[in-house]
Structure 1
């Protein structure tokens, strides 16, 4: 499955409309980003049940700021609209595969209950 380019205008819809979404925050000037891209692309072919996206931080500075992106590459994983993984730094193939497997294994009933509990503490 091809990696989709993502922007501010379609970020929220993509995250909410797909079960699992991986977002690679990157920049054209970032050498680790350039090295990570083929790993990310290759993994997208192996996991057709995951939506793989890339978001250029220079083209989407406001959104990157809102999401707290301070280094690239940064990988975020969302499951059922919930941020479940957030890490700066390039991963190799086995590491990325492990992240994907762990995201798929999550008990989302438990995750949603924890999110609800945390939101209750804030409000």
Structure 2
């Protein structure tokens, strides 16, 4: 399941969650970034220790600025309040699965 993220909930999601937070910055005007959310959602739904959040690049300029996002899709992984991995650009399912495996080891 994909949840919307806004700046009001950011601290609770990043710093207080017992799961790895996956934040995907996307644009509804750019189909590859929407496809990334769909693929990530499928993968994360198989995992018990991940939560997926989406942030609209156009509607959430405060978060875009806070995380210094310059392109979509950008996916950031957080664990215990720390950014553990970041990737930008379109990725296929195999690449996303490999990133998930890597992040689980961090």
Q: TM-score when scaled to structure 2?
A: 0.91
Give the SS at the match of 1:68. Answer: coil
Give the SS at the match of 1:11. Answer: helix
Q: Give the helix-richer structure, 1 or 2.
A: 1
Q: Give the strand-richer structure, 1 or 2.
A: 2
Structure exhibiting the larger radius of gyration computed from Cα positions: 1
Where in structure 1 do 4 or more consecutive aligned residues deviate above 6 Å? none
The runs of 5 or more residues in structure 1 that have no matched partner are 107-123
- For the aligned residue pairs, the C-alpha RMSD in angstroms reads 1.2
Give the SS at the match of 2:28. Answer: coil
Give the C-alpha shift of residue 35 in structure 1.
2.0
Is contact 1:3–1:44 with CA below 8 Å preserved after alignment?
A: no
Give the C-alpha shift of residue 24 in structure 1.
0.5
Is contact 2:77–2:86 with CA below 8 Å preserved after alignment?
A: yes
Q: TM-score when scaled to structure 1?
A: 0.79
Structure 2 counterparts to residues 20-99 of structure 1, below 5 A: 20-99=20-99
Give the SS at the match of 1:102. Answer: helix
Q: Distance in 2 between matches of 1:87 and 1:37?
A: 13
Question: How many residues align structurally?
Answer: 105
Q: Distance in 2 between matches of 1:17 and 1:93?
A: 29
